[in-house]
Amino acid sequence: MLKHSKKIAVAGGGSWATANIKMLADNIIEKEIFWWMRNGDAAEYIRNYGHNPNYLSSVEIKIPAQNISTDLKTTIKAADFVLLNVPAAFLKEALQGVEPADLEGKYIVSAIKGIVPDENKIIAEFMHDTFRVPLQNILVISGPCHAEEVALEKLSYLTIASQNVELATEFAGMLNTRYIKTVVSDDIYGTEYGAVLKNVYAIASGICHGVGYGDNFQSVLISNAIRELERFVAVVHPIDRDIKESAYLGDLLVTAYSQFSRNRTFGNMIGKGYTVKSAQLEMNMIAEGYYAVNCLHQVNKQYQVEMPICEAVYAILYKKSSPVFEMQKLAEKLS
Ligand SMILES: NC(=O)c1ccc[n+]([C@@H]2O[C@H](COP(=O)([O-])OP(=O)(O)OC[C@H]3O[C@@H](n4cnc5c(N)ncnc54)[C@H](O)[C@@H]3O)[C@@H](O)[C@H]2O)c1
Ligand SMILES: O=P(O)(O)OC[C@H](O)CO
């Protein structure tokens, strides 16, 4: 028996939002699901045909047509849980017109793996500082899980993090299905920063592949990446955590090695000589790590953690440094 109401709004129209809609609808707990997206044509198509025309188009959308809207305030008003699923770079724009009062008493669930540009804040911090959402009302969905495998109903594990563990456990119960298993954590900072960093490491992994390094080097890169990730989260939010858990190491591995990874694909194109603009145009999807590495570069000015992989990716993407040169330089620092 759930303590809270089961009205959930999903905000975002991409692959992960579509996968989240599927798992919430496939979960057996009765609930009402609302869906906001900015693209009116896509919303109309989904209402008419029950499939997202642009992302995971094979997934059957099993929510009532009238619950799909392009008006975010109305969608938020209808729900108690607001699941944010817009890439971090566009979150501020998506929430324009939404006031702190609109979110009063709501639970905010971030499925975003990114940092809000200019603010340089992870999503929980941004929602807390800007919309006065109490941290106790904020949840994070993370873990190694590609939307494409959810569409195929391949067994996947999600981590639901919140300082309010009872709430996280309750929300996790609304995601479990035959193909989704959930783990609960109280580490929102480590979970969010871990997910942000793994996107940058996946870009590094793609760049290495693009310039011609093999599996042997790749494994050393990822072994150094998890140590870099651990160093950073230990300074930003020092608590006792096991970095080998799925939300940290697992997510890094899936993104660094999977054919479905947006960030790795983007990095591979950069390694092969594409410009940032041309690589972005080539993809209908967003590589969060591109935006995140710039934010991390700013955030780390305060913490001064040794982060050679992030710095190499930053130099390539933002200083137009040569991928071959940066990877050679990085290789000297890895162990
Ligand atoms: N795809 C996955 O498997 C997956 C898994 C876990 C977490 N995530 C996270 O989910 C979030 C959403 O990513 P996704 O993979 O669903 O995205 P996607 O790459 O599938 O889709 C791109 C999304 O960005 C939106 N978008 C593109 N340009 C925009 C603009 N100028 N203004 C506003 N919106 C714009 C599109 O409408 C679409 O919703 C990201 O933070 C990502 O890290 C994704
Ligand atoms: O692997 P990416 O770059 O597509 O990111 C998607 C998810 O974060 C994987 O858990």
Break the chain into its structural domains and give their ranges: 7-186, 194-333
Of the pLDDT bands very low, low, confident and very high (cuts 50, 70, 90), residue 334 is very high
Instruction: Please list, in sequence order, all residues whose beta carbon lies within 8 angstroms of the beta carbon of residue 259, skipping any fewer than 6 positions away.
Output: none
CATH assignment of 194-333, among 1.10.1060.10, 3.40.50.11540, 1.10.1040.10, 1.10.8.60: 1.10.1040.10
Cα separations in angstroms, 260 against 24, 53, 202, 253, 306: 22, 19, 11, 12, 29
Query: How does pLDDT run across 232-270, given as a tens digit for each residue?
Result: 999 999 999 999 999 999 999 999 999 899 999 999 999
Atom in ligand 1 nearest the alpha carbon of residue 112: 41
Question: Annotated active-site positions, please?
Answer: 198
pTM: 0.97
Class of domain 7-186: alpha beta
Residue 1 pLDDT exceeds 50: no
Of the pLDDT bands very low, low, confident and very high (cuts 50, 70, 90), residue 43 is very high
Instruction: Please list, in sequence order, all residues whose beta carbon lies within 8 angstroms of the beta carbon of residue 70, skipping any fewer than 6 positions away.
Output: 36, 37, 38, 39, 40, 43
Cα separations in angstroms, 30 against 2, 63, 76, 180, 285: 10, 12, 19, 17, 32
Please state, rounded to an integer, the average pLDDT across all residues of the chain. 97
Query: How does pLDDT run across 200-216, given as a tens digit for each residue?
Result: 999 999 999 999 999 99
Indicate if ipTM > 0.90: yes
Atom in ligand 2 nearest the alpha carbon of residue 143: 10
Asked if 14 contacts 285 with a C-beta cutoff of 8 angstroms, the reply is yes
Q: Is 106 in the pocket of ligand 2 (CB under 6 A)?
A: no
Q: Is 199 in the pocket of ligand 2 (CB under 6 A)?
A: yes
198 labelled binding-site residue: yes
Nearest protein Cα to ligand 1, atom 9: 112
Strand pairing partners for 69? 36
Record the tokens describing residue 189, joined without a space. Answer: 């900072």
pLDDT for the residue 284: 82
Query: How does pLDDT run across 260-297, given as a tens digit for each residue?
Result: 999 999 999 999 999 999 999 999 889 999 999 999 99
Ligand 1 centroid to 87 CA: how many Å?
5
Query: How does pLDDT run across 50-106, given as a tens digit for each residue?
Result: 999 999 999 999 999 999 999 999 999 999 999 999 999 999 999 999 999 999 999
Q: Is 55 in the pocket of ligand 1 (CB under 6 A)?
A: yes
